[in-house]
Amino acid sequence: MPERPRSYAIKAEIADSGAGSWAFAAQKTMYDGRRIAVGDVIYLFASENEGGAGLVARGVVTSAEDTPRLPDVERQTPRVSITVKRTAVATRRLGRAELKPFKDWDDGRPETELNFKFYRQATNKIVGLSPAAAELLSGFC
C-alpha cells in the first residue's frame, strides 16, 4: 500500500498570491522539509519579512529537486527547488500576529508548532507538518 502524501508548509516571498502555480528555487529546509516530494500537500505562507500576509493558499507539489551541496562547505542547510499548483485559497487570516500568542513550546498545540517552526527563527523555509498542524491549516483554506 503506497504511503499517503505528507503535508508541508513554505514561508517565502510570494509576489502574486492569486497565481495558479509558483516556483521556488533553492529553498532552505528544516524540520523534515527536505523530504518534500511530488504529490505532497503544501500550505503557502507569504513571508511577512517581504510584505506578505501569512497563509495565502494550499497546493500540491508538482516537482521537487534537491539542490546540490556546495563542495568544501562543511555545514549546509539542505535546500530544495519545488513547483506548486494551487488547489485552494486561504479564506481566513493566519500569520505571525495570529500565531504569536502560542509560545509555550511544550503545549502540543498545532498553532504552537507553526509559530515555532516559522517564527522562532524567522528565515524563509520549507517545513514538515504534523497531522494536527495540517488539519488546522486545512480549515483555513
With beta carbons less than 8 A apart as the criterion, state whether 141 and 90 touch: yes
For the domain spanning 7-138, the CATH number is: 3.10.590
pLDDT at residue 67 in the model: 86
pLDDT band at 3 (very low <50, low <70, confident <90, very high): low
pLDDT at residue 110 in the model: 96
pLDDT value at 70 more than 90 = no
pLDDT in tens, 5-24: 699 999 999 989 999 999 99
Q: Which three cell numbers stand for residue 46?
A: 507569504
With beta carbons less than 8 A apart as the criterion, state whether 44 and 88 touch: no
pLDDT in tens, 103-139: 998 999 999 999 999 988 878 999 999 999 999 999 9
Percent above pLDDT 90 for the chain: 74
pLDDT value at 1 more than 50 = no
pLDDT in tens, 36-59: 999 999 999 999 988 888 999 999
The Cα 83–Cα 55 span in angstroms is 17
Helix (H) or strand (E) holding 116: none
Structure-model confidence comparison of residues 13 and 72, the more confident one = 13
Query: In this structure, what DSSP letter does residue 97 have?
Result: H
The Cα 37–Cα 50 span in angstroms is 26
